[in-house]
Structures are given as structure tokens and as C-alpha cells.
Amino acid sequence: MTFHVYNSLTRSKAPFSTIEDGVVRMYNCGPTVYGRPHIGNYRSFLFADILRRWLEYLGYEVRQVMNITDVGHLTDDTEADSSGEDKVEARARAEKKDPFEITREYTAMFLEDMAALGVKEPMARPKATEYIDEMVEMVEALIEKGHAYRVGENVYFDVTSFPEYGRLSGNRVDDLEAGKRVEVNEEKRHPADFALWKSDAAHLMKWDTVFGADGFPGWHIECSAMAKALLGERVDIHTGGEDNVFPHHECEIAQSACANGVPLAEVWMHAKFLQVDGGKMSKSLGNVYTLPDVVGRGFEPRHLRFALVRGHYRTQINFTWAIMDEIRARLENLDEIAVLLHRILDGGAAAADGAGRETLTAAIDGFEAGMNDDLNMPVALAALEGLRKPLLDGTLGADVARDAMAWLERANSVLGFIETGAQSADAEVEALIEARTAAKAAKDWAAADAARDALTALGIEIQDTPEGVVWRRR
């Protein structure tokens, strides 16, 4: 089965193909760096990472760009023409800091979290403030082609000039007007027109351009310009979270198509929102969690990685601390597959050569079929998890185990949350057992108990026998 992806633009699943043979150009909408990203944001970013890794598993070269929004994203961003304060500047005022200091600090935290979550570095991480010239150039092109107009020092996109406006989100220009959801702005020709360039003397981050002395870009034009600068006029895949469909991506589609004369992306993919405690994360409920919150509760970043990618990206998934406990146990079982394989490879008992070959083939086929079906992770994981029982039952031959280990490493090059270096896991267990034995000899019962608790936490059961300590994984 070839890789099939669901395209939000056509609302259908179709075989994936690329503009250039063997190369995937992919643009992912990144964070607005006005706070430490929360675990919901990471669902979107990890979805992009899994997608990139799956494309690499399939043999593609992936040119991946994930931007950093450090200006122009306003607080009221559900309408096409965002309004309110700049999110970064609002934070700068609250923290009494320079906005560039704010973006520097939160970008550093974002990158730290991404590294901890095992996210591969994209080809580029452009910051919006570093592509102002490209944005201005694109806005000028839109004016020249009759798709945008200036009013004083502001520039608006004329939505009536692009008949396809609304195709992605299903919003129709007429409905946007009739619903009067759009704030009346006398400057605009049509209420649904949105700003490409804004001017405001009070704005802290502003640029002196052909449009005036105090301008800054609209959030949507940023991604259109950065995608073009780094990947060209056409990309294969553009991703984001479901809230990006409208207005952000709808506006990107319009701007890029009108400026470049070709559609921006072949495939648009959107991750559904992560829910927390069965609903929307909210400050008032105190459940807007970050990675450090999760680590503070005793989980490893890879537990969160697993928790956020375990569901199909287009279905809702929920986050609770009880779910995290289940995740930990489930991940231990996945780790155990590697441990059991290593045991065979290290000369442990195995079935006859060739035994269990079909079992391994079924696991690989099931995993690949799941991933090829629009990254259906639950199906893929179930296939992988199916390897554990035959290993516990001892029905794999040593040669099959060797192939299984090699493939597990490959599967984990996509998943990135399994501890496949089982040797080191064993070494950790041995070290704790030695520490406990030494503590007992020294009659340090508290230290001995602590070592035993640490072993229990790792899922290790120990037994004192006349020959010494014997251990096994639960």
C-alpha cells in the first residue's frame, strides 16, 4: 500500500505524490513565542515530526521548515482580519521586558522542549522578524496584481478578488459579511478583507518600509513569505493545528496563489486539538500544562511524546494524569520488546532458527499499513505491540530476533519514544541491585529500600536466592 494522506483542502484521502521525485517540501506552522508552548501545541509539532520521519522511512528526502512567529500574531485571531494587541507585545508589557527579549526567552524554551521530546531539527526555523523584506515584496506584488489595496499606511487583501477564498474552511465571503461576525472597519472595501500590513505608531516592533514608518506584518503573510523564501512557490505539504484552518491557512492560500500564480500547497494537513481533562485547556482550570509540568510529575519527556502521538492525528485525544500512568505502563511493555530481543541476541534461549518469521512479517506489515493509512498510529502501534507476546512465549528464532531488532530500530526512527538500547536499561537494573546489596551489607535499610523502590518503579521484580539476586521485568 502506498502512503495515503487526508487532504483538508479536498476533504478526502488520496495517494501521496510529490512535485519533485523523491523530495518532499513541507512547511509547518510553528509557535508564537509569547509563552512557553503548552502540551497542546506539542501535539501539532509532534504530528509534523512523525510525518517527516514517516516520509524518511519511506525513503523521501524531506525539506522541512517550521517557522517561529515573533511578531504580528494578534490576540483576537479567530477572524480573518485579526485585531487586538500583538501577543508578544502584550506579554512584554506584562513582564516589563523588551519584546525581543520575550521572543528570545520563549524561543529558547521551545527549542529546549522540542529537543527533550526528541523532535528532529527541521531544515530551517525562520523567524518572522527576519523575513520582513520578503513580506513587503509579496505585499507589493499583491497590490500590483490588483489583489490588495492601500489605505494610508495599511494594506488589505481584497477577498473578492480571489473566488476560491473560503474553499479550505468552507466559509463563504457572503456569509462572513451577512453573519456580521466581522468587526466594521470603515477603511476596508469588504468586511472580510484582511490586513497584510498594519501601521501603528504605538507598536513596539515596527519597520520603516515603502508603506510607512511604523509598520508590521499581518500574521498570515508571514507564513506565505517564509514558505516561498525557503521552499519556493509550491510545497507538497503544509501543516498546522485545526484552528489554523481559518483564518490563517485560508488567508495564506489566497495570498500565495494571487502573488505567485500557483497554489501554495498540494496537501493541507491539520492535527485535531488535544483535550485536557476531557475539555479545552484553560488557565482558570489550571490545566494548561507545559513539558516541565509533566516532568515535574515524574514522567520522562518520551512519555509525553508517546501520549501525544499515540492517537490518530485527526481524532480527539485526551490528556489526564491517569492516562499518563497508563502511558508509562504501556511504554514499559514496548521497551520490554527490545529487552527480550537483546536477551536472545546476547545468547539467551531462542526457538529454532526461522521460527516466528511470519509473526515478524505480520508486525512489520501491520505497522507499515497503519502508517501508510494517513498515519494511523493506533493500528501501527497495535501491530508493533503484537511482538511482545511471542517474545514472552519464547517462540522466535535467534535469526528472526536479529531481524526484529533491526526493524524495531527502524520503527523507532519514526516513533522515537522506545528505549531500544536495552543493554543500558539492564545496566541500570544491575547497578541498582548492586547498590541494594551493598546497602544491606552495610545495614543501611533505608538505602536498601530506596534501591528496591527504584527497581519497582522500573517494573523490576527481585528475588533473593542463595545464589544471589534474581530479577525479572513484570
Whole-Å CA distances, 296 to 107, 290, 365, 388, 431: 21, 10, 38, 30, 25
CB of 13 to ligand AMP, least distance (A): 21
Q: Does 223 bind Zn ion (CB under 5 A)?
A: yes
Separation in Å, CA 150 to CA 77, 144, 190, 200, 223: 22, 11, 13, 15, 21
Closest CA to 49 of 329, 205, 237: 237
Give the alpha-carbon dihedral of 284, 290, 293, 295, to 10 degrees. 160
Q: Does 29 bind Zn ion (CB under 5 A)?
A: yes
Answer for which of 199, 244, 287, 376 binds ligand AMP (CB under 6 A) is 244
CB of 229 to ligand AMP, least distance (A): 19
Site track 113-142 with ligand AMP (rule: CB under 6 A), x = hit: ------------------------------
Minimum separation from the CB atom of position 382 to ligand AMP (A):
23
Return the range that interacts with ligand AMP (CB under 6 A); candidates 26-34, 123-131, 225-233, 386-394. 26-34
**What is the rounded CA–CA span in Å between residue 341 and residue 338?**
5
Choose which of 3, 8, 40, 367 interacts with ligand AMP (CB under 6 A).
40
Q: Is the peptide bond before 247 cis (omega within 30 degrees of 0)?
A: yes
- Check binding of 8 to ligand AMP (CB under 6 A): no
Which of the choices Zn ion, ligand AMP, none does residue 274 contact, using the CB cut-off of 5 to 8 A by kind? ligand AMP
d(CA 8, CA 172): 16
What part of residues 271-290 is at the interface with ligand AMP (CB under 6 A)? Answer: 271, 273-274
In angstroms, what is the minimal distance from the CB of 218 to Zn ion?
11
Smallest distance, Å, CB 248 to Zn ion?
Answer: 5
Task: Please tell me the distance from the alpha carbon of residue 263 to that of residue 347, in angstroms, as a whole number.
Answer: 57
What does 223 interact with, of ligand AMP, Zn ion, none (CB < 5 to 8 A by kind)?
Zn ion
Q: Which is nearer to Zn ion, 256 or 287 (CB)?
A: 256
- Residue found under cell 511470519: 358
Residue (of 157, 272, 164, 141) closest to 220 by Cα position: 157
Residue 426 near ligand AMP by CB under 6 A: no
Residue 237 found at the interface with Zn ion (CB under 5 A): no
> How many residues at the interface with ligand AMP, by CB under 6 A?
15
- Give the end-to-end CA distance of the chain in Å, rounded to a whole number: 37
Nearest to 398 by CA among 441, 362, 357, 432: 357
From 36, 43, 53, 127, residue interacting with ligand AMP (rule: CB under 6 A): 43
Q: Distance from CA of residue 320 to its chain's centroid?
A: 19
Alpha-carbon span 381 to 431, nearest angstrom: 31
Tell me: does residue 230 bind Zn ion (CB under 5 A).
Answer: no
Q: Which residue, 161 or 244, has its beta carbon nearer to Zn ion? A: 244
Question: Site for ligand AMP (CB under 6 A): which residue of 31, 99, 301, 370?
Answer: 31
Amino acid at 395: T
The identity of residue 398, as a single letter, is: A
CB of 325 to ligand AMP, least distance (A): 21
- Angle at 254 (CA atoms; ends 4, 18), nearest 5 degrees: 30
Is residue 166 near ligand AMP by the rule CB under 6 A? no
Binding-site ranges for Zn ion (CB under 5 A):
29, 223
Binding-site ranges for ligand AMP (CB under 6 A):
29, 31-32, 40-41, 43-44, 69, 240-241, 243-244, 271, 273-274
